[in-house]
Amino acid sequence: MLRFNTEFAEGFVSPAELDDYRRAHADVLARCQEGEEGFADSLGWLSVSAWAGDEVLERTCALAERIRACADTFVLIGVGGSNNATRAALAALAPEVGARVVFAGNTLSAWELNRVIASLEGHDVVIDCVAKNFETLEPGSSFRLLRQYLVERYGAEEAARRIVCTGTIGSPLEDLCRDEGYTFVPFATDVGGRFTALTEVHLLPLAVGGVDIRALVDGAREAERACRGDGPLENEAYRYAACRNILWERGYRMELLGFFEPRFRWFSKWFEQLFAESEGKDGRGLFPSAAEYSEELHSLGQFVQDGTHLLFETFLDVAGPGPGDSLVLGGTDVADGFGYLDGVDFWDINKASFRATRAAHAEVLPCLTLEIDRLDERHLGMLFYWFAFACTVSGRLLGVNPFDQPGVEAYKALMFRALGKGAR
């Protein structure tokens, strides 16, 4: 289960005010639940079954098995929406079975790319170039580099067997696959990069990496039922979206995703991309950022408690422990000043820190809380869907198109000119 609560924000947004706002904008929720016609080419993710039905899951698991039979290392070449969900899920779940997944195609740093190549030595490798447009510089350049690496290492024929591409049907990437004999996986046609968590774009690398993708998808289906089924006063994703917009209208300009599980580190990158590219446009939107507590209580925490009042916080909390979530601190004869921790579980110490932080921050800023029962595949699937839906509703309440990202084009024109694209 996933629960959203506003108890620690009531001094800033009263329950009555939130109810009024939700009633007044209920038509926005209804349109998002139905799927707005004007965005039909971007709403494929709204129905989990559309791109993660039984046939897709079977096909994906079979391909993942084939890959794992010949490789212990899988390189995902992709950036932004073609990278973040896989990295988020692998970091959060740390599956014990499966191949090692290495990330490339998300950097232009020679140092980092040299490090990636060095990390492949002594391993059996398969690469997957994930590129919706196959024009993006980072994955395009890394794909060429790693293709050449594979050919040098395995010879052209075996290298071709070790190359997968996830691209748009009819794109130059599909042509390349046909010409060179690479395996081609279709990129969901009506889903933009950052909304692809529950499509083959990510299901394949996750299955290769040992994630139970059926459980992930089941969780997403559960979230879909709630997000698309619940009415305006019960719908938690809508309540969250409404809170964000009330706070935006009140002058807040930044949302901090706070969490006390470092396993959410890469999930927070996924969250940042989702909201930044979906809402940050037309001079509007909340700047999404993250705080990895308790570590950052000793850095960002000062600003959050005591600095400029421009942000509110959304805490992502895991209610119950899972495997590996318990570690009891033993007693000692040494007078180290920490005797009050004798026999206490780190799980409870961490929880005490979370509750104290939220209570202290709530004195000066609105604190929202999103709680999941456990950190496992099912709940992560719920989070992926829930945030995607909430972000869509939030963007529509804000009055922007959540599915484009025109702001990322400006630097590209200058960069491509500097690199001579089109001239040679």
Task: By CB under 6 A, tell whether 192 contacts ligand PA5.
Answer: yes
Q: 138, 277, 292, 313: which one is catalytic?
A: 277
Task: By CB under 6 A, tell whether 44 contacts ligand PA5.
Answer: no
Task: By CB under 6 A, tell whether 80 contacts ligand PA5.
Answer: yes
Query: 238-277 mask for ligand PA5 (x: CB under 6 A)?
Result: ---------------------------------------x
Q: Is 202 a catalytic residue?
A: no
| Closer residue to ligand PA5 (CB): 199 or 357 | 199
Among 33, 60, 136, 394, binds ligand PA5 (CB under 6 A): 136
Q: Which amino acid is at 132?
A: K
Give the range of 73-81, 150-158, 202-210, 226-234 binding ligand PA5 by CB under 6 A.
73-81
| 127 within 8 A of 162, measured Cβ to Cβ | yes
- Evaluated on CA atoms 172, 174, 176, 179, the torsion sign reads negative
| Closer residue to ligand PA5 (CB): 132 or 361 | 132
Task: By CB under 6 A, tell whether 25 contacts ligand PA5.
Answer: no
Residue 217 to residue 227: CA distance in whole angstroms: 15
Task: Spell out the residues 6+ positions from residue 260 whose beta carbon is closer than 8 angstroms to its own.
Answer: 293, 294, 317, 350, 351, 353, 354
Q: Is 277 a catalytic residue?
A: yes
Task: By CB under 6 A, tell whether 353 contacts ligand PA5.
Answer: no
| Closer residue to ligand PA5 (CB): 82 or 245 | 82
| Closer residue to ligand PA5 (CB): 105 or 258 | 105
Sheet holding 163-167, edge to edge: 100-104, 73-77, 125-131, 163-167, 183-186
Among 33, 42, 60, 82, binds ligand PA5 (CB under 6 A): 82
- Residues facing residue 101 across a β-bridge: 74
Q: How many residues bind ligand PA5 (CB under 6 A)?
A: 14
| 279 within 8 A of 286, measured Cβ to Cβ | yes
Give the range of 79-87, 118-126, 143-151, 154-162 binding ligand PA5 by CB under 6 A.
79-87
Identify the burial level of 161 via C-beta atoms within 10 angstroms of its C-beta, where 0-12 means exposed, 13-18 middle and 19 or more buried.
middle
Residue 207 to residue 204: CA distance in whole angstroms: 5
Residue 158 to residue 70: CA distance in whole angstroms: 11
Sheet holding 287-292, edge to edge: 2-5, 367-372, 311-318, 254-259, 287-292
Among 133, 305, 353, 401, binds ligand PA5 (CB under 6 A): 133
Among 13, 63, 79, 92, binds ligand PA5 (CB under 6 A): 79
The pair of three-digit structure tokens given for residue 422, joined into one six-digit string: 């089109």
Instruction: Return the active site residues.
Output: 277, 298, 412
* Binding residues vs ligand PA5 (CB under 6 A): 79-82, 131-133, 136, 139, 192-194, 277, 405
